[in-house]
Structure 1
């Protein structure tokens, strides 16, 4: 028996009629009051209007328990235990008659918390019960409370001020009931899934944060403590919100391709989504079965991508052989699967189309599941999976708040004084180069560790930071901790680097992110004869074990394979090996491949003057690639300039000139290419194009029309260039981008103004607000606000007529923060309470736009908002209450692509 899932197996048709008997059909006067009714007045088994006897109450409890035991399909409890559970359920349900809360408060509380409260108020109900019986009591009570709340939301006397909230709650509760029912495993599979759930928690419930093992802190953080919720930016289709929490992307859409640069947190997000399936408070994913499929592991040693029945064995899950026959098919056929495919970029480019076909076959066979695919931005083209129903999102760089949160939590985890944390945050704000680096969790952890290790001193550039990190990992950590003992292997820092970079470069040359353990040992065996001082200390196997255990750079994802703790270190050391081996022709020949981009950048950093000249000129003068590949090469060379501390001025000028030919961008692909290059392109982005000069009208009417068309085409090209330039700069969200974006603040095109307004949350609220937002033309432009600080800034600019709420607000905050007399158009894309009374406080509100995922919305409460003329709703939402609206009020359907 699986008591934890008993309640979920009781369908609505069984439980709802029983629950309705617990409550009165109607309460006199209940529909006339202006506040919700107390639960104690709704029950049918107490008070003057009592209609349910104790005997009938007991029969209801008996039916719930009997149905629950039957639903498990497992061995039943002894009959005396079942009777005892029935008495306990009846006793706990009677507590409803003493609850000091109203129905709306109960709905807000949630069914799990309501059940917990009923159990805590009837502690003697389960005295003397066995552990299984106690769990059965809890499960039945949880389900009863779910249906109780569902009943509350369906009451006709659920007062007008809560009607909108009623619709939302009804839909949410219905979805919860149905999803819980469909996600419960069959009795034959439940024991295995329970064990698999524990495996997922153990496997993915911890996170290695770089630098924690270099101080007094633990080597791993529990993911619950370590996880930092980052934002994702939706694509231009409008299917996903413009900006949303990355861990909610699968709540917004069932198929998502998520892009993110190295170290941005893609794999950590995959871990978080996997363990969310085991957490009851994560109802969007709870009960689904996660399959975490890192492609670098699946393709290890040239292996073929696995069929669904091989998912577990392909990732070396130790209980793979125990899965029941046909289990994977039961899971995927019923839509219970959460398939997390991590790292399209970590397999060779030639293999990615095979991976796509593999994915398409899986989706066509099992379409009803949820799918997440992650990749570096440059690994696959835009809209790569759109034909398969995927939407795209990009992990946004860490915001200032994210960085501050990470730094403070890192120092707390290591037990280091807050003084170091505050000093580091000041350094990140003051030093632009440092601030540009601290935009993802990997680099933040690295910077924290170096800052602490060096007593507050930090190197400036990326190469210097990596050099310092390697010194800290490979040499200083063991020496300063006194790890070495007589007779142990002692290898100097230079030899450490020489050995590890050989492994790194072999993996890069062979297009691998993992390496067979045996190949790694053989490669070391070939290198040891050239290093006699190292060779005399042990065999290749012993040296390998030393590097694995002591360097902190290598790890074994399985007993047969090895990889780097992060791809960034592999690229950095591989680039060093390539430069030392004078392998420049090979670097140039592979520079067009996305897997080599970071290697090329680091190779430029490692090179000397003449080597750097050879490498960069070779890249920009290649003629054996497609035009698209040539564009990438020119932009890559421009990105390398930040690492070229010394370079021939003519070479620098040629690199800048060739990159300049791609600027301004004229298409979305060109804008994305610039985004991938990063902050270095900000110096190349132009000022906005000027409008074409007015021309004299020729006499010939045909010429007039032709010139008019040419003028329109020129204006459209100029507007496109401005839009895609702004699009690129807003995605390179550094302070330096504000200067570029401020040039476009007076540009007339609505797309440009929309993009400038939408980007506010990516930058400092005050600086960006004063430099950009305050100057935007308000015509037809909704100003999105994601937090109270932005709303306050809007008010300080005199208010704006059109505002779009995209963050968490309550009605009081909104009314207090906005200029009420200025607001004529309000767009709500997030929830603000469950009633609309506060809209009456906006005296000139002409248009209200409501974004909602609910299939139904009751608009009757909006009849009280007298100034309102237009109510805009998404297509597909069923509307009721239109007959109550005043004659001047109109319901309008938004276009799907509306912004």
Structure 2
């Protein structure tokens, strides 16, 4: 969208006000339909105070005062001013009233004026005519705003239109300083120190559990050494656009950093632990170092402003002047007055709003409104907002121009890269098992493809890191399910960590696992009930003090502050942030412990009261896993109980179905009721609904309709759901759709390859898809090898990182006719000459222009 030619009100108001008669000289405004603007302008009538020559001079000043980047070449300024003065002059000849003008709004009112002077701009160049039209809209905006300010009657009659005009004025006001070429010396000095502090603050990442078995191990690791470029896909993938060929409109899976290229505003979704915060850290550090990759060159020179929502969720979105204070940045008190506002005004901001799901659901609408206003006032700044998938509805910020991305599950190459990096980083600790790390790594790399449970869990950095830590801790013996993983982690952290590290005298407090866990559960539960992601240190100590009398083993161990410090320093589950606040190392840890405490306290009614709220979803799942059979039945029956309507009811019922995978014992009647009452909900009517249905998990497979009895359109939606469920039964279900002719359906089946065991999916799905018109996506070396084993395909879509040599070896030279590249190979394309039948090279439009393409190969983008 082209930015408008804008004028700040500080420079526009003195000029625009001269276009109107003073209030005391204006006619009495008593007409029901408003006053004719022809009677209000200062340049018409028997003895107008403003002549046409003065109007032309005003127009020249307006042209000359417009802010960069749309300032005209000097030779065009006089012709544009002449046309602008003629266009404004016509206001005195039209029968438009002030009410009608405000109701039209600046754009339509400007269009009305232009149509009244046809051909006035015929002598202007194309660029000058574009400039005039947009400047006229801006002048009309200030004119209407001036009318509203001097006549409260207009605001009363047209409140929504008046409010919108005031919002648009806010956008123009930031232009007052936008033309400044560089920061002041004071700002520049502070920005250099601020950049260093960002690198220091965010260039560390905690890999869950990496320090656990060994003494003196660091609590975190260099982001440079451990950052893994994750994958992302646009949430409109597969929906297509009118006129597109079915299946051809699928957006490929891109690296997350590359997917951000070319987008100014992005809402990034991902499950807990998917790497959203790590991506935010990487962007902040890379921008602060001026070390962003070429595809993100548009972000170079921008100032990263990291805004973790948990820091201000209860107070609301801070104003720019309060950004640093709200997130408790160590340099907050040293920032020059108005510095953040100047950065945003000059369009140099890199806004990183992390964790919308950390705010209570009741507060998110207000946060959205505040963010929308900020982005309207300070347009031109890059903004990334992150959230869990179910935290906000689809298109939550679409009206503000935000594109939606989802972090994709890690593929086998990424999992292998993470495991390798984890074990490489572990060599830098002071552990005694370095000689076994290669064995641990190789055993884990071999186990994950073999065991479905592990394969399903090791799809994001959090769970993959936890699996690595437990694998090392247990020398290759891994628990299988999510609850079992967390139970093993609690045992490792709360019971075995210090003895096995020979940390016996770190402090005077000696607590066993039971007491440690109970106190941590109390803290987690308090934060859950208070809807907080962190507690001030004083409140955390007070909470510990409140519960000490009920835990006999803590008697004589020290004062509450000593016991809290023991939990903070010795368990590895808490961390202290600046400004003396404490939080859990990850939200999922907090949810796990809070759920266990809720069951212990019998707080089932509390859980059910909030079950429709997205931030309680993980708590409910873990509560079901912890619950005894009677409690489990009560929770699940409560999710199905009447009393909620619309989306709240649907969310609760689908949550009941999703909880079944965590149940250890449940009466058959409740189990049957859940299946019965949710069966009709698994017939999604849109691709977006089909996509969101995938979060329910494997239980959905038991409720889906017979795939042989549905239309191609419904089959496509079912495939969208099932390809997002990592389960052996999903492959069996999808196999029943593989012989259909629908290209849209075949494209979705091919697109789902990355979510399953490569060889099995290739054998049961990919090998049976009709190749006519279908691009087969390849995201890693395993899929490339499997496709070659199938004899290759004529159309291949490269959606993973490969070198030309790898593609030359992996692609079929005789088969390939169409190649679609989603990644920049950073090399000339002359190597494509090895494919004699290649006729078409399709390049993602977000990539740099390719070079060296052999003659005769058509390039599409």
TM-score after normalising by structure 2: 0.72
Aligned partners of 1:814, 1:436: CA distance in 2, in Å? 28
Aligned-pair distance for 1:388? 1.0
Give 1:389-538 correspondences, 5 Å limit.
Answer: 389-415=401-427, 416=434, 417=436, 418-485=438-505, 488-538=508-558
Match of 1:380 in 2: 392
Aligned partners of 1:686, 1:392: CA distance in 2, in Å? 30
Partners of 1:240 and 1:252 within 8 A in 2: no
List, as ranges, runs of 4+ consecutive aligned residues in structure 1 with deviation greater than 6 Å.
181-184, 854-859
Aligned partners of 2:196, 2:531: CA distance in 1, in Å? 34
| SS in structure 2 at match of 1:214 | coil
Match of 2:770 in 1: 777
Match of 1:206 in 2: 204
Aligned-pair distance for 1:212? 2.0
Match of 2:340 in 1: 328
Aligned partners of 1:442, 1:816: CA distance in 2, in Å? 34
Match of 2:583 in 1: 563
Aligned partners of 1:564, 1:850: CA distance in 2, in Å? 44
Q: 2:264 aligns with which of 243, 250, 254?
A: 254
Aligned-pair distance for 1:248? 2.5
Partners of 1:218 and 1:414 within 8 A in 2: no
In structure 2, the CA distance between the partners of 1:597 and 1:316, relative to structure 1 (3 Å rule), is: same
Partners of 2:187 and 2:339 within 8 A in 1: yes
Aligned partners of 1:446, 1:842: CA distance in 2, in Å? 44
Aligned partners of 1:472, 1:406: CA distance in 2, in Å? 22
Aligned-pair distance for 1:719? 2.5
Cα offsets for 1:566-614 (capped at 9, x unmatched) = 1111111111111111111221121111111111111111111111111
Partners of 1:420 and 1:456 within 8 A in 2: yes
Aligned-pair distance for 1:209? 1.2
TM-score after normalising by structure 1: 0.69
Q: 1:288 aligns with which of 299, 302, 315?
A: 302
| Most deviating of 337-346 and 735-744 | 735-744
Cα offsets for 1:109-146 (capped at 9, x unmatched) = xxxxxxxxxxxxxxxxxxxxxxxxxxxxxxxxxxxxxx
Match of 2:174 in 1: none
Aligned-pair distance for 1:470? 1.2
Aligned-pair distance for 1:250? 2.4
| SS in structure 1 at match of 2:681 | coil
Aligned partners of 1:278, 1:778: CA distance in 2, in Å? 47
Q: 1:580 aligns with which of 580, 593, 600?
A: 600
Q: 2:356 aligns with which of 341, 344, 348?
A: 344
In structure 2, the CA distance between the partners of 1:799 and 1:534, relative to structure 1 (3 Å rule), is: closer
| SS in structure 1 at match of 2:389 | coil
Partners of 1:502 and 1:574 within 8 A in 2: yes
Aligned partners of 1:473, 1:304: CA distance in 2, in Å? 35
Task: Report the RMSD for the aligned CA atoms in angstroms.
Answer: 2.8
Aligned-pair distance for 1:331? 1.7
Q: 1:594 aligns with which of 610, 614, 628?
A: 614
Match of 1:802 in 2: 795
In structure 2, the CA distance between the partners of 1:241 and 1:336, relative to structure 1 (3 Å rule), is: farther
The gaps in structure 2 that reach 5 residues or longer are 1-178, 241-248, 428-433
Q: 1:242 aligns with which of 236, 249, 252?
A: 252
Match of 1:551 in 2: 571
Aligned partners of 1:458, 1:783: CA distance in 2, in Å? 35
Give 1:807-826 correspondences, 5 Å limit.
Answer: 807-808=800-801, 814=807, 817-826=810-819
Aligned-pair distance for 1:229? 1.6
Aligned partners of 1:643, 1:454: CA distance in 2, in Å? 24
In structure 2, the CA distance between the partners of 1:845 and 1:240, relative to structure 1 (3 Å rule), is: closer
In structure 2, the CA distance between the partners of 1:184 and 1:748, relative to structure 1 (3 Å rule), is: farther
Aligned partners of 1:413, 1:810: CA distance in 2, in Å? 26
Match of 2:193 in 1: 195
Match of 2:149 in 1: none
Cα offsets for 1:862-897 (capped at 9, x unmatched) = 7x41xx6xx5645xxxxxxxxxxxxxxxxxxxxxxx
| SS in structure 2 at match of 1:638 | helix
Give 1:617-696 correspondences, 5 Å limit.
Answer: 617-620=637-640, 622-690=641-709
Aligned partners of 1:444, 1:839: CA distance in 2, in Å? 37
Aligned-pair distance for 1:664? 3.4
Q: 1:723 aligns with which of 716, 721, 725?
A: 716
Aligned partners of 2:380, 2:260: CA distance in 1, in Å? 13
Aligned partners of 1:242, 1:384: CA distance in 2, in Å? 23
| SS in structure 1 at match of 2:459 | coil
Match of 2:327 in 1: 315
In structure 2, the CA distance between the partners of 1:330 and 1:790, relative to structure 1 (3 Å rule), is: same
Partners of 1:774 and 1:797 within 8 A in 2: yes
Match of 2:134 in 1: none
Cα offsets for 1:481-523 (capped at 9, x unmatched) = 3433398111222111111111111111121111222222222
Q: 2:630 aligns with which of 606, 610, 622?
A: 610
| Count of equivalent residues | 659
In structure 2, the CA distance between the partners of 1:549 and 1:240, relative to structure 1 (3 Å rule), is: farther
Match of 2:231 in 1: 231
Aligned-pair distance for 1:619? 1.1
Aligned partners of 2:311, 2:358: CA distance in 1, in Å? 10
In structure 2, the CA distance between the partners of 1:808 and 1:522, relative to structure 1 (3 Å rule), is: closer
Aligned-pair distance for 1:687? 3.9
